[in-house]
């Protein structure tokens, strides 16, 4: 299957909406989340960044799961 972004911009449009939603989320409810999810302009693959590098690995996994669950709840509002 061939996908042409010039004739069907849906992926670009939805990625832009998701970027704005993430910006709003991290400006409010997600301000203290240990994980930041970023989708750079012109890219569609999310990048995950930790706010605190010194978190232990097992704690980090739990924190990521909690942050993603919190984000999922926020996005479904």
In-domain check, residue 2 = no
Domain membership of residue 66 as a residue range: 10-75
**DSSP letter assigned to residue 36:** E
Report the domain count for the chain: 1
In-domain check, residue 47 = yes
In-domain check, residue 38 = yes
The C-alpha atoms of residue 42 and residue 61 are separated, in whole angstroms, by 29
pLDDT at residue number 58: 55
In-domain check, residue 5 = no
In-domain check, residue 19 = yes
pLDDT in tens, 1-56: 566 767 778 888 999 999 999 999 999 988 888 899 999 998 889 999 988 644 45
pLDDT at residue number 19: 96
């Amino acid at each position: 299957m061939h996908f042409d972004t010039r004739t069907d911009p849906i992926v670009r449009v939805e990625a832009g909406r998701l970027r704005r939603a993430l910006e709003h989320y991290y400006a409010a409810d997600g301000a203290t989340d240990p994980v930041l999810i970023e989708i750079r302009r012109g890219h569609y693959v999310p990048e995950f960044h930790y706010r605190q590098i010194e978190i232990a690995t097992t704690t980090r996994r739990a924190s990521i799961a909690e942050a993603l669950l919190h984000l999922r709840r926020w996005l479904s509002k």
